[in-house]
Structure 1
Amino acid sequence: MTTETDQAAAAGEPEPPAAGAGVATRVRVPEPAGEQPPRRWLGDRIGSVEVLAALLVLLIVFRDPLAAALDDPRLQTWTTVFVSIMVQAVPFLVFGILLSAVIAVFVPRSFWARALPRHPALAVPAASAAGVVLPGCECGAVPIAGSLIRRGVTPAAALAFLLAAPAVNPIVLVATAVAFPNNPEMVVARGVASLVVAMVMGWLWLRLGRTEWIRMPRRPELDDASRSRAFWAAVRHDVTHAGGFLVLGAMAAASINVLVPERWLQNLADNAWLSILALALLAVLLSLCSEADAFVAASLSQFSLTSRLVFLVVGPMVDLKLISMQAGVFGRRFAFRFAPTTFAVALLVATGAGMVLL
């Protein structure tokens, strides 16, 4: 049978002093049986210095195969195509991101509700034309369109602006002219086709769209912060998204030029209808920024101007990053209906514009 003193000792409490003892007491702390020191995993001991040292060792060990690989003409061609696309596209991308952030932060959102016609059918072409004077990439157009809807703009007009702004603004049209210096008609065809697609989709929404498909968005980093913080938040957001996708797109374009046999590309380009569909799907997969996609399209010289026009019209309106952004901002019910319809309309309109204008 255990006594109270033993129970107190087991609990780690001080023992009561014995008769005639001093005031000093001892605390008997039980030691957990079988407890082992914590293990240190290999990942806990590896830091950036260790990773850098390992890379240096690998470079030294494999220096001869790496040197031979760098001398490969195909790798040199890949590097040349990648660097040329980046050098041409980055200035337009940076300027477009800065100007898009200025518009998103410093232009009052209530301005659009007052500036657009009250009749929804007339507000759609007006909002589409507003994209001509408002530079910005599609990454910035999605939250701006959501803000317009929250400020009372009819959804049809906001969606028309969402499609038109990244495709027909001055920065995109100038970039297209620089990328196609011998084909100025590409600038006209791209602007006209993109405007038509934006207006058709706005009017289709008036006819077939439902309000419950849209979940109202909110960007607290733009709404609740000061103007300077909101400006840099918008810049960081667009640089992270648009810049990253530009690098991936340039890498994909360079890889297509190097890895895909020329005969395959030529056979695909020789089939007019198949080449149009192929470049439309490629635009969706590459997810390029609209300020830079013209330079990638210009590098696909095997294809006709009409098929490359389809690439330029479809890309800023329907791609993987836009579908994901629209699903996050407006809801999946909206994105899964809006994106396929926009793809079909853009494909048809761009093909018709290419046959007439190119």
Structure 2
Amino acid sequence: MEQLNNAFTLFLSLLVEAIPFLLLGVLLSSVLLICIDERWLTAHLPKNPVLGAFAGSCIGFLFPVCECGNVPVARRLIMQGVPMPVAIGFLIAAPTVNPIVIWSTWIAFHDRPEIVILRVVFSLTIATVVGCIFSLQTDLQPILQPAMALSTLRSQPKIPTGNSLLDGGDFILGTAGMAPKRMTQDLIQPPKRSLQANVNLVLDNVVQELRELGGVLVLGSAVAAAIQTLTPRELIVSLGEGPVISIVVMMILAGSISICSTVDAFFALSFAATFTSGSILAFLVFGPMFDLKSIGLMLSIFTPKAIFYLFAIATQLTFLLTLFVNFHVS
């Protein structure tokens, strides 16, 4: 009975800490639906593969979306004709390299600033490297779904999938990778919306994202509380102290839980006392990159083979960087 009480207390504490950041992230990303001019952005992105991948990795500061919203934005970037390194860099780094996630990570690990700094540095590094590797693929047809490959070959202006880069993922997922019916010349330039229409758009997006992300947050908090209180402490300590096994365990946990990057720092904080610094970083860096919820959306952009290579490279880089932390920094 005491274990259940402890688990429930930890569960509530995780929710109380995380919910404000979830609300802030959802609200800000929804407001950006009506504030960002993506045409200006795509016109000023660098064409150099390295600079493009790095710039794409930093676009998260303009689009503070978590891994639930980065795929639709990356899809739109590709259809607007931006270089592939830019889109790949954004796809991988945006859920981590944005002000809301950095702030929430700082609140959770304010006494360990190296966790906050290395999370950003590792995410930027991995996103830039993967973007540069994918830039070597000059023919995009083998890595893109047919509809996406066709859109990249069309003359400018590229036909968008909606009125904003931050269109919700449900519409795209529902198309199953096929060209949406509303892709017509009339929608190349989105119509101006009234104030009431903008307000409705923001409110609808807030409700949708809270419904999707709130459930994941509750589930993730429950899992973290259960693991911490019901698993024998000796087992947790033995797994957490190993420089290699601790990283593997936390990467598997990150991929299976798929908790939103806006609040995953509070989840990781519950393991900070028993797991190595490298494994905590592995969870914080790898989790936003490998999200089970977004794989269906990614299949609307890339072929399964391309997704496999993308995750394989990101997994190896995450493991090597965090292993270096365990052996040389911790």
CA distance in 2, matches of 1:102, 1:228: 9
1:163 counterpart residue number? 92
How far has the Cα of 1:111 moved from its partner? 2.2
- 1:242-265: CA deviation from partner (whole Å, max 9, x where unpaired): 222111111110111122111111
Task: State the secondary structure of the residue aligned to 2:14.
Answer: helix
- CA deviations on 1:46-88 (whole Å, 9 max, x unpaired) are xxxxxxxxxxxxxxxxxxxxxxxxxx11111111111111111
1:76 paired to 2:48: no
Q: Which residue of 1 aligns with 2:233?
A: 262
Deviates more, 1:285-294 or 1:233-242: 233-242
Q: Which amino acid aligns with 2:144?
A: I
Please list the CA deviations of residues 330-352 of structure 1 after superposition, one character each: whole Å capped at 9, or x if unmatched.
Answer: 45343333223322222223333
Rounded Cα–Cα distance in structure 2 between residues aligned with 1:248 and 1:325: 21
User: Kindly tell me: are residues 235 and 214 of structure 1, through their superposed partners in 2, closer, same or farther at Cα, counting changes over 3 Å?
Assistant: farther
Aligned to 1:346: 318
SS of the residue corresponding to residue 166 of structure 1 reads coil
Counterpart CA distance in 2 for 1:354 and 1:324 is: 34
Q: Tell me the distance in 1 between the aligned counterparts of 2:302 and 2:199.
A: 27
**2:176 alignment partner in structure 1:** none
**How far apart in 2 are the matches of 1:326 and 1:209?**
20
Query: d(CA) in 1 for partners of 2:326 and 2:35?
Result: 38
Please give the per-residue CA displacement for 1:250-306, whole angstroms capped at 9, x wherever unaligned. Answer: 111011112211111111122211111110111000101001110010101210111
- Corresponding residue of 1:322: 294
Quote the residue 1:246 is aligned against.
217
Q: Across the two proteins, how many residue pairs are aligned to each other?
A: 287
Range moving further from structure 2, 237-246 or 74-83: 237-246
Alpha carbons of structure 1 residues 240 and 330: separation in structure 2 relative to 1, 3 Å? farther
**SS class of match (2:46):** coil
Superposition map of 1:183-198 within 5 A: 183-198=112-127
Any residues of structure 2 matched to 1:55-74 within 5 Å, and which?
72-74=1-3
| Alignment pair present for 1:199 and 2:128 | yes
Which range moves more in the overlay, 134-143 or 321-330? 321-330
1:205, 1:111 → 2: CA distance?
24
Partner of 1:99: 28
Match of 2:243 among 254, 272, 284: 272
C-alpha distance in structure 2 between counterparts of 1:243 and 1:331, whole Å: 30
Cα shift readout 1:95-137 (whole Å, capped 9, x = no counterpart) = 1111122224431221221121133332111121222453221
CA distance in 2, matches of 1:101, 1:336: 31
Q: Show the 5 A alignment for 1:134-173.
A: 134-173=63-102
Matched letter for residue 118 of structure 1: K
Opposite residue 227 of structure 2, the aligned amino acid is: I
Pick the aligned partner of 2:37 from 101, 108, 112.
108
TM-score (norm 2): 0.79
Q: Is 1:214–2:185 an aligned residue pair?
A: no
Deviations 1:149-187 (A, max 9, x none): 111111220110121111121111111111113211111
Task: Answer yes or no: is the 8 Å Cα contact 2:277–2:325 preserved in 1.
Answer: no
3-state SS of the aligned residue for 2:214? helix
Alignment match, 1:312: 284
Helix, strand or coil: the match of 2:96?
helix
Partner of 2:257: 286
Q: Which residue of 2 aligns with 1:174?
A: 103
Instruction: Look up the equivalent residue of 2:294 and give its one-letter code.
Output: L
Instruction: Please say if residues 193 and 353 of structure 1, whose CA atoms lie closer than 8 Å, have aligned partners that are also in contact.
Output: no
Post-superposition offset of 1:355: 4.9
Q: Which has the higher contact order (CA 8 A, sep 6+)?
A: 2
Q: Secondary structure at the match of 1:135?
A: coil
Query: What is the Cα-based RMSD across aligned positions, in Å?
Result: 2.3
- C-alpha spacing 1:240/1:356, structure 2 compared with 1 (3 Å): farther
Unpaired segments ≥5 residues, structure 1: 1-71
Q: Would you say the 8 A contact 1:128–1:157 is kept in 2? A: yes
The residue type equivalent to 1:318 in the other structure is F
CA contact (8 A) 2:243 2:326 kept: no
What amino acid is aligned across from residue 319 of structure 1 in structure 2? D
Partner deviation per Cα, 1:181-231 (whole Å, 9 max, x = no partner): 321111111111111011011111112475122233946866878544443
| Unpaired stretches in structure 2, ≥5 consecutive residues | 149-159, 169-186
- Is 1:236 paired with 2:165? no
Task: State the AA in 2 paired with 1:130.
Answer: I
335-344 vs 158-167, greater mean Cα deviation: 335-344
Separation of aligned partners in 1, 2:325 and 2:125:
10
In 2 relative to 1, CA 185–124 (structure 1 residues): closer, same or farther, beyond 3 Å? same
